[in-house]
Amino acid sequence: MYDRARAKGYKFCGLYALASPIGLIVDLDLAKHVMTKDFSHFVDRANFVNGKDDPLGAHLFSIGGKKWRNLRIKVTPTFTSGKLKAMFKTLTDCGVILEKYFQETLTNGDAVDIKDVFARFTTDIIGSCAFGIECNSFKEPDSPFRLYGQKFFTVTRLRSLQFAIAANFPALGRLVKVRAVAKDITEFFVKVVEDTVAYREKNNVRRNDVLQLLIDIKNNKEGRENGYKGDGKSLTMDELTAQCFVFFIAGFETSSTTATFVLYELATHQDIQDKVREEIHTVLAKHDNKITSDSLSELTSMRQVIDE
In the complex, which residues of this chain contact ligand HEM (CB under 6 A)? Answer: 45, 60-61, 72, 126, 246-247, 250-251, 254-255, 258
CA distance 286 to 293: 13
SS3 for 186-241 is: HHHHHHHHHHHHHHHHHHCCCCCCHHHHHHHHHCCHHHHHHCCCCCCCCCCHHHHH
> Least distance (Å) from ligand HEM to the CB of residue 278?
24
Which of residues 34 and 147 has its CB atom nearest to ligand HEM in the complex? 34
- DSSP per residue, 4-58: HHHHTT-SEEEEEETTEEEEEE--HHHHHHHHTTTGGGS--------TTT-GGG-
Which of residues 246 and 305 has its CB atom nearest to ligand HEM in the complex? 246
> Least distance (Å) from ligand HEM to the CB of residue 184?
23
Which of residues 92 and 105 has its CB atom nearest to ligand HEM in the complex? 92
Which of residues 89 and 286 has its CB atom nearest to ligand HEM in the complex? 89
Strand, helix or coil for residue 290: coil
Strand partners, 20: 17
With the CA atoms of 250, 254, 259 and 261 taken in that order, what torsion angle do they form, in degrees rounded to the nearest 10? Answer: 170
Which of residues 73 and 175 has its CB atom nearest to ligand HEM in the complex? 73
> Least distance (Å) from ligand HEM to the CB of residue 258?
4
> Least distance (Å) from ligand HEM to the CB of residue 121?
12
The two counts, helices (H) then strands (E), for the chain are: 16, 2
CA distance 196 to 120: 21
CA distance 172 to 118: 38
Q: Which amino acid is at 236?
A: T
> Least distance (Å) from ligand HEM to the CB of residue 193?
15
> Least distance (Å) from ligand HEM to the CB of residue 267?
19
> Least distance (Å) from ligand HEM to the CB of residue 172?
25
Which of residues 45 and 287 has its CB atom nearest to ligand HEM in the complex? 45
> Least distance (Å) from ligand HEM to the CB of residue 243?
8
Which of residues 118 and 138 has its CB atom nearest to ligand HEM in the complex? 118
Q: What is the DSSP letter of 141?
A: T
Strand partners, 23: 14
Residue 55 main-chain phi, psi, to 5 deg: -55, -35
Which of residues 97 and 250 has its CB atom nearest to ligand HEM in the complex? 250
